[in-house]
Structure 1
Amino acid sequence: MTRGIDYGNLMHTAMRGLIRTVLQDIAERGGLPGQHHFFITFDTSHPDAELADWLADRYPGEMTVVMQHWYDNLEVGEDGFAVTLNFGDSPEPLYVPYDAIKTFVDPSVEFGLRFESADDDPSPEPTNTDPDRDANAPSSKDAPKSDGQVVSLDSFRK
């Protein structure tokens, strides 16, 4: 049996490492520079994801959070990150494993990553949470339109 190179998983690992490096830099510098902000969509049913029961009930499959004006307690680890975000004036701590991340987008610089598995139904844009729940979250209609490209790693798989 010939052993092949699994480029898809190698790319996923590298891109999740990039997210970890970006978040670590933000944590060490004490905030986001300039107009940078992140839309992070993650699998709320991931066994290692930690979020309030009411959030898990409201978003049983996936959820998009926004890191922009208000976030606190950003802690970046090897396997995931913890952060407290504001949902309608209610601070809630979250823990997001890197392998639960489905999309990571920084619209300020037209950068985005999409992680897809063989059983995912790819969608062209990340799904935004109810912006009324997060006073700091812009709605997807308010997000800047861009011609930037989201890198889909499935194109590298056979």
Structure 2
Amino acid sequence: MNKEQDEIKRDANVHSWLYGVGLTGVISGIGYIFTPLEIPIRLIVSALIFLLLLFPIVKLVFYFISSGLRCKVCNASYSIQLIDTKREFLSAIPRSKTQNQAVVGGDTRGPHYGKQIIIKSTWTEERYKITNVYSCVNCGNTYDTQRMETRKQGYSSTKLYR
């Protein structure tokens, strides 16, 4: 493997460890919550779950990450890298939404007691076409992927009482 492939493999390894530790932490946290014993035993069970599942989950995540890094033309491993991202603006559509909330009540009688809360929200929905261009560091083959992205811009809301 050349220098670029080693760097791509190192990045995949770092990401697999980050995602693997996070995923294993979530699983051991769920184990902590559902263990019906005292706190010291729950901590021990959670630590055992974490230690037993950490390496298999990191390997599984690394397998999924590295499966997309193999060139389809020359079959070189750890050779695909992102070389360019193009963002093309498609449209901007103004949107609004009105939500009826509960009636104001409670122990204190204020100026809005007994009135309906209405929340009016406005924003602009922007659509983009995003094109990612990838290249193989071994053979130079390039390909691209396209996806659509929608963003909320300029969100504001006001609370009314009726």
| TM superposition score category, shorter chain reference | under 0.3
More helix by share: 2
- TM value normalised by structure 2: 0.27
TM-score by length of 1: 0.27
More strand by share: 2
Relative contact order, higher structure (CA 8 A, sep 6+)? 1
